[in-house]
Structure 1
Amino acid sequence: MFLVNKRISIKETHITLKTDSEKFIKLAKNTIINERINLENYILKHPEFLTSYVPISVGVDAPKIVKIMARAGENADVGPMASVAGTISQMVVENAIKYGCKNIISENGGDIALRTERNIIVGLYAGTSSLSGQIGFEIKKDKALNGYGICTSSGTVGHSVSLGNADAVVVFADESSIADAAATSIGNFATGAPDEAINKCLEKAEDIDYLDGVFVVVGEYAGKIGKIPKLVKTDKKVTLGELFELM
């Protein structure tokens, strides 16, 4: 299945890539470089795209990556850059599929796009919460076959901007760009006591389209809404992006 496991770092993009052939590593690098160039050139002409915390409209002549990010931001009511990591992961996977890749996982700072021919478990990383590394989500192959997104936002882990204090807001959707922007939007509502923060997050999730489900962790508490993959016990202490198991 996953014969190759590589870490690709290009500027701010740091992707852990698992795939079934070395040739897709080179393709992924080229995809990242080309899409970053397209995005950076667009930002030079439209600097508000980089800094806005609210949705931005883009023209029909905008690059594909810009259109995907703008759509994701509008769907979740956040700025387009909230979806950048998930969008790049998504484009890496989509381009690999075009060239015949059967099994690929692209994890970009907790934002995952994948396509596999078998069931797969994606582990939960939620900082210092006791749930971190102890449970995972079983993604069934009928979901994974067509490409799938699992993205995480945290107010306590990593460098991403979040206005809330959730240890993890995990969003499941067909597109990782959509999931990434939604995770940021939902995580911004994680304020107050743990139970209050979780309820606020789940209420916000109800207002966002194109999501399968959401799982929120605040300290030792967790809540969910929608249809999330089956929870399984992993009993493995892992760091962000390390846990992928085939079944």
Structure 2
Amino acid sequence: MIRAPFRFRETIATILADDPAHVAAAKAGILAARQELEAYIARDPFFASTFDPYTPDSDDPVIVRMSDATRKAGVGPMAAVAGAIAWAGVDAMQEAGASFGVIDNGGDIALLCDRPVRVGVHAGEAALSDRIAFIVPPQDRILGICTSSATVGPSISFGIADAVTIFSHDVALADAWATAACNAIRPDDRSVLERIDPEEVSGVFAIMGDVTVEWGVLPPLVPAVVDEQLISAGDRQ
């Protein structure tokens, strides 16, 4: 398996693939997505600054995915940027013939896998951080596994959770709901989960100190030793 780091401006990602051609496809997909995004922001800067749902004047796929996802989650468009860009990269890998491809864009992961994949959980100083992992079964379509944290990383958060991980085949939606749920969930208040459509999001896993919350259907969790150095910095939001 090839592990290829990739960095372009704010995007700091890791690409996993079986074939160098699929790595090249992933990079091209990421760059094309960034080109769409930067071109739109240049003519509509509000898209990049608002924390509220926003309807853009664009039919570019990346812009539409970001705005549609964040409208459902009730957050601003850039809350879905890392997931949308990772998704575009794995889309390109699939179009190039890949049956296996992973892009980790700072804990926001898009993957296509013909084998089980282990995805570790990093949650800052929480007791379970770097000690557990999901065993994701083979997927015949792209899956998003996106994590937001109020205590780890540079992304803006209004919450307290050490980590909220969302599973959805809509990778942008997984990213948007990770942000929204992380903003709102508390050990004694889980009402934000009532807003999530189980037809669109398959599962949620949250860590808040010693408290864990599970919602929906999650892949099996197993003990693991997670190497924090393998986590990409991702797109800052």
SS in 2 for 1:160: coil
- 1:166 and 2:161 are equivalent in the alignment: yes
For 2:78 and 2:212, the matched residues in 1 are separated by: 27
- 1:198 and 2:198 are equivalent in the alignment: no
Q: What is the aligned counterpart of 1:182 among 161, 165, 177?
A: 177
- How much does 1:208 deviate? 2.1
1:1-247 equivalent positions in 2, closer than 5 A: 3-59=1-57, 61-141=58-138, 144-190=139-185, 197-200=186-189, 202-209=190-197, 210-234=200-224, 236-239=225-228, 241-242=230-231
Amino acid at match of 1:203: S
Structure 1 residues 5 and 129: CA distance shift in structure 2, 3 A: same
SS in 1 for 2:228: coil
Amino acid at match of 1:75: K
SS in 2 for 1:55: coil
* Deviation by residue 1:41-62 (Cα, 9 ceiling, x = unmatched): 1011111100111111123x43
8 Å CA contact 2:157–2:183 kept in 1: the answer is: yes
The match for 1:194 is none
- How much does 1:241 deviate? 4.5
Give the TM-score normalised by structure 2: 0.93
Amino acid at match of 1:160: S
* Deviation by residue 1:36-88 (Cα, 9 ceiling, x = unmatched): 111111011111100111111123x4311100000111110100100000111
8 Å CA contact 1:56–1:79 kept in 2: the answer is: yes
8 Å CA contact 2:33–2:85 kept in 1: the answer is: yes
Q: Following TM superposition, where does structure 1 have runs of at least 4 consecutive aligned residues deviating by more than 3 angstroms? A: 240-243
Identity of aligned residues (%): 34
Unaligned 5+ segments in structure 2 are 233-237
- How much does 1:240 deviate? 6.2
For 2:92 and 2:171, the matched residues in 1 are separated by: 14
SS in 2 for 1:155: coil
Structure 1 residues 88 and 240: CA distance shift in structure 2, 3 A: farther
For 1:170 and 1:240, the matched residues in 2 are separated by: 19
Amino acid at match of 2:16: K
How many residues of Structure 1 are paired with residues of Structure 2 in the alignment? 230
8 Å CA contact 2:121–2:226 kept in 1: the answer is: no
For 1:104 and 1:94, the matched residues in 2 are separated by: 9
Give the TM-score normalised by structure 1: 0.89
- How much does 1:155 deviate? 0.3
Structure 1 residues 153 and 135: CA distance shift in structure 2, 3 A: same
8 Å CA contact 1:107–1:241 kept in 2: the answer is: no
